[in-house]
């Protein structure tokens, strides 16, 4: 079994209103040291595969096809072998 940790974030050039809202809320709660907040999606995907190379290809395809909107988002992932 392989666990893929997938991170989908907005591209730098894309405005992040959700991040801005959280940043303001933190600052209003006295966390003045907060300079910037960017918010993205974190997904844990368990794959019934044993081979990391195959998992890399499949997760890449899943990201490109479904998990990330490539117009505004970028993605990265890490793979871990785990017990079933």
Distances (CA, A) of 15 to 25, 26, 34, 37, 65: 17, 18, 17, 11, 23
6: how many CB neighbours lie within 10 A of its CB?
Answer: 19
* Of 13 and 33, CB closest to a copy of itself: 33
**Do 39 and 22 touch, CB atoms closer than 8 A?**
yes
Min CB(17)–a copy of itself separation in Å: 14
* Of 28 and 71, CB closest to a copy of itself: 28
Min CB(71)–a copy of itself separation in Å: 19
Give SS3 for 80.
Answer: strand
Min CB(20)–a copy of itself separation in Å: 12
22: how many CB neighbours lie within 10 A of its CB?
Answer: 15
Interface contacts to a copy of itself, rule CB under 8 A: 1, 7-9, 19, 22, 25-26, 29, 31, 33-49, 58, 61-62, 65-67
* Of 29 and 71, CB closest to a copy of itself: 29
């Amino acid at each position: 079994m392989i666990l893929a940790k997938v991170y989908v974030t907005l591209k730098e050039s894309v405005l992040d209103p959700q991040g801005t809202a959280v940043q303001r809320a933190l600052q209003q709660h006295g966390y003045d040291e907060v300079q910037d907040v960017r918010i993205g999606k974190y997904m844990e995907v368990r794959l019934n595969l044993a081979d990391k190379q195959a998992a890399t290809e499949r997760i890449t395809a899943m990201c490109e096809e479904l998990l990330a909107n490539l117009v505004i988002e970028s993605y990265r992932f890490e793979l871990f072998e785990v017990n079933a």
